[in-house]
Every structure is written in C-alpha cells, then in structure tokens.
Structure 1
Amino acid sequence: MHPNSAFRPQQDDLAALLVREIGFAAIFAGTPDGPRVAHAPVILSEDAKTLQFHLARGNGLTKHLAGAAALAVVQGPDAYVSANWYADQTHAVPTWNYVAVEMEGVPRQLDDAGLVAQLDALAALHEARAGENPPWTRGKMDPVYFSKLTGAILGFEMPITAWRPTIKLSQNKDAGERARVADGIERTGHGALAHLMRGLGGAREDA
C-alpha cells in the first residue's frame, strides 16, 4: 500500500469492482520452506467479504495455506511516468502509476462440494464474459476425468479481514498535469491505464 492517502480509492466499491474485473491474484504466505506465492483465478463473494481460489496440490504453498495468515494481491494496469511529461519539471521526478488491491485473511480449505461449486462459478462467469453461447460446462466432460483433475487441486475460501487498495493515478497532481501524464502513458502503449486515469484520476485540483 502506498503511504500517500491521495492514492486511496474514493469510491467505496472500487476495490471490489477491480478484483471482480481482473479476477486473478497472487496469493502470498510464509511457510516452513520460506515465503511462497501462488497465482490463481479468484472469485469475490457478492458481499465482498470472502475470496475463493484453488491451487494445485503440488504447489509449494498449498499444504501450508489453510489456517495461515495470507495476502492476496490483485494487480491492474501499470506504467512508467516520465518527468518530461509535466509542465512544471522543477519539482518532478519519474514515477510509476499502477493499480493494486491487497486483501488479507486466513484461508480455510473447501470440501469437495465447495471446490466443484467454485469451479462451476468460475466457468459460468468467464464463459459469459467470453460470449460463448452455449457456454462450456463440466457436463461436457467425462465424469471420471473431471474427478481425476479435481483430485489434483484444492479449493480455498479466505474471509477478508483487511483491504489495502492503491489506485495511483497522479491524483497528487492538478488536472492539467494528470491529462498530460495520461496522454504520455497512452503514447507508450498503456491505453487501459490512461483510460483509468481519465475516469478515476480523482479531483485533487489544489495539489
């Protein structure tokens, strides 16, 4: 989390929206073998209080995760910001704009039914986003093969005890400087971040 409060989202539901839209997280925890990280698709509950994900049984984090303090990090677009883009370069340095949402909690392992429900929900969500009609469902699979695959993964649910979002989009600059930075970021091929800056950059006109 960035220490500057200007980079906290002003909209109460923005962090949850970003988690749902991005849908993929890095899961961090300490283990007896040292710190480990896993990468997984995630589902945020409707009330934004729990995060679900699944990992391969062979992942170095999996066997240590249930009951351990963990951190899930969802990262959005990011890009370098050149100080050349500012009108006032006398008090400017290069920096980096980015979007990141940290969620802290203690995961618990799901039972087999919970894992299957999670997989069904993930498929339904992303098949709809992909515009598949009819969508893929596990009903198209050989049940024995499906069971073999699910036996190789474990599902988890993490009640979220703390949210730490950082939406760093030059909110500490005035509107003119933010517009110049957004233009520069777009020129470097980071259109998604430029779009976020223009839509969510925040009104810090006195900065």
Structure 2
Amino acid sequence: MPQAERPISWTPLLATADWMSPEVRNQLAEALDAAADEIPEEPRHLTAWTDRQDLARVGTDTSGLCELAWAEYGMEIAAPFLDNEVIRACLAVPADQRGTPGRYKPLLGEAFAHTDVVPDFVLSRATKGGFNALAYAGLTRHAAVLAHLLGPTSRLSAVGLITQAPVERMLQRAAAGQPTAQGALHLAVSAEVWLRQMETTTTTSWWEVSNHVAAA
C-alpha cells in the first residue's frame, strides 16, 4: 500500500511492515498502542520528539561504530557534533527553527560562518554523496547469499517477521538493480544475522552489582 494511503501514525512504516504476517502486524500494533499509553505527556510539537529520537539513534550507532573501529583497526573516530555542549546548544533553538525549506543546515552555517573551521563548500552544500551504485552492485553480487539467508529456513520467517513472497520479489528487484527498500533490507539482514549468532554464542546473564551492571 502506498505510504500516502496509510493511516497517519507516529511511527513511519518501513517496507518490513509489508513483509510480516498479519498476526505479527497485529501484535506489533498492540505493543505500540500500549507503549503510547504509557507516555505521561504527549509532545507539543512532533519535531521536538522526532529530533530527540533521531539523536538517540545516531548516538547509539556512532558509539557502536567507534567501538568497532577501535577494536578492529585501532582507529579513533571523533564525533564533535555529538558533543554534549553542541547538542545542548542546538536543542536550545526551537525545533521549528532548526531547519528551513530554503536553507540546508542553517545552524551549522550560522555557527561556523567565516571561521575557517568548516570549509565553505561544506557549509553551502545542499546534497549528500550517493552510494546507490555500490549498494546495488553488492546486492547483485550477493543475491544468492541473501536469498538463502532470508529464505524458508530463516529465523525471521519462522516467527512470522517476514513472509517469503514479498521478500523474494524484493531480492529479485535488488539483483536486477531496480529501486529497492535498502533500509528495510538492511534491518532484516541485520536481525537475521543477529538471531543466527544468538544460537552459537554463550548465554549472557545480567545482574546489578552495587551501582553498576555486571555480565557473565
């Protein structure tokens, strides 16, 4: 179903919603309703809420990438835009003023204009680099591996989180270089790999020790 025809919701639906069985979709909808009911106060502006959610997601992803880069390559990644003072300064600006339709990255431009800290071509850039060609080349090259990973024996399929017909059609489109929901595919592959790894890794248990958490 086209996104424009879907009911308005707080949570945008990815293509993975169409890959789930009806039973799992209903369970997920009920879980979202229950979580929404527990929110003590609805946000006055949706932008403020989504910005904080996006910030938490980016921070978590960056933290994980920093750990991987250090552990695998001994490389330290700097993330100055996630510095606490930078975040506080940005969030001090009303949500509806942090971005404008006619200007790209207005806060960054105002903060670093005429400072020589950030090159002018970065501040004036209105687009991002595209990696679609590389992504589709990878999807084409590894189409058979992905088809096996997300096939009938997949762990996601066993619990109804994906169904075969739409996933097969999506992988066929990807292998042919046709437009594909790459973000949704990435999430499905990550979840499938994680579930498979859980079967072969040692069980971890968590408990609270004084003021910190320990694992074994």
Name the TM tier (shorter chain): under 0.3
The structure with higher relative contact order (CA 8 Å, sep 6+) is: 1
Find the structure with the greater CA-based Rg.
Answer: 2
**Under a length normalisation based on structure 1, what TM-score does the superposition of the two structures give?**
0.23
Which structure is higher in strand share? Answer: 1
**Under a length normalisation based on structure 2, what TM-score does the superposition of the two structures give?**
0.23
